[in-house]
Chain A
Amino acid sequence: AQSVTQPDIHITVSEGASLELRCNYSYGATPYLFWYVQSPGQGLQLLLKYFSGDTLVQGIKGFEAEFKRSQSSFNLRKPSVHWSDAAEYFCAVGAGTNAGKSTFGDGTTLTVKP
């Protein structure tokens, strides 16, 4: 069975500082990995995805993530955080290309200090 672990429940960073959100997965085959962002009371928005190829993927809003098979990780990064980045972030592993049926991590809440 597939699973996703986001070790950090809550992270606080200062505006302008760099950010890294951790994600570890367990999946029997080549994983399809996703990062989503959710603002309070809103649905999910896809930040980026990895299916194959270059292990460093670029997403929207200046985010990137690196797939490391040896570490079973797919950490999300951003060089300089903006106050508007404060939200809930979810890592997910999808069942092949059928990403709608995905297993989600428990999420990481990002707080941005002024």
Chain B
Amino acid sequence: GAVVSQHPSWVICKSGTSVKIECRSLDFQATTMFWYRQFPKKSLMLMATSNEGSKATYEQGVEKDKFLINHASLTLSTLTVTSAHPEDSSFYICSARAEGHYGYTFGSGTRLTVV
């Protein structure tokens, strides 16, 4: 149980375009989801906390207008990288809190490459 599906697993886009990444909780309802960014050979950096039905909470230094988060249902959170630039290229991972599982379930990640 407590499976999180993240899609797509990889995406290549042109500079200036927007990319949407989806994070779904398959067998549980997630009122809270988290979005992380991971640079090569680096740890995970928390970007924002996504709350169902309300605005996301962004960590300091994360541009909320660039990284749009929508959590419209209890099973889906989306991260949209708007007007992507090469420096946005990274590995993005979501995690969702499952009741009784202490919120440790992570998606498989999305490799974004902006060319």
- Taking Cβ atoms with an 8 Å cutoff, the residues of A that contact B are 32, 34, 36, 41-46, 49, 51, 90, 94, 97-102, 104-107, 109
Q: Please report whether the interface of chain A is mostly helix, strand, loop or mixed according to DSSP.
A: strand
Interface magnitude class on chain B: 20 to 34
Q: Are B106 and A98 in contact (CB under 8 A)?
A: no
If over half of B's interface residues share one DSSP class (helix, strand or loop), that class is named, otherwise mixed; here it is strand
Q: How far is the CA of A104 from the CA of B32 in the complex (A)?
A: 19
Contact of A34 with B104 in the complex, beta carbons under 8 Å: yes
Q: Is the CB of B102 within 8 A of A104?
A: no
In the bound complex, how far is the Cα of B53 from the Cα of A12, in angstroms? 47
B34 A100 Cβ-Cβ under 8 A: yes
Q: Pick the 3 closest A-B CB pairs, nearest first.
A: A100-B103, A43-B108, A44-B106
The reply to whether B106 and A90 form a contact with Cβ atoms under 8 Å apart is no
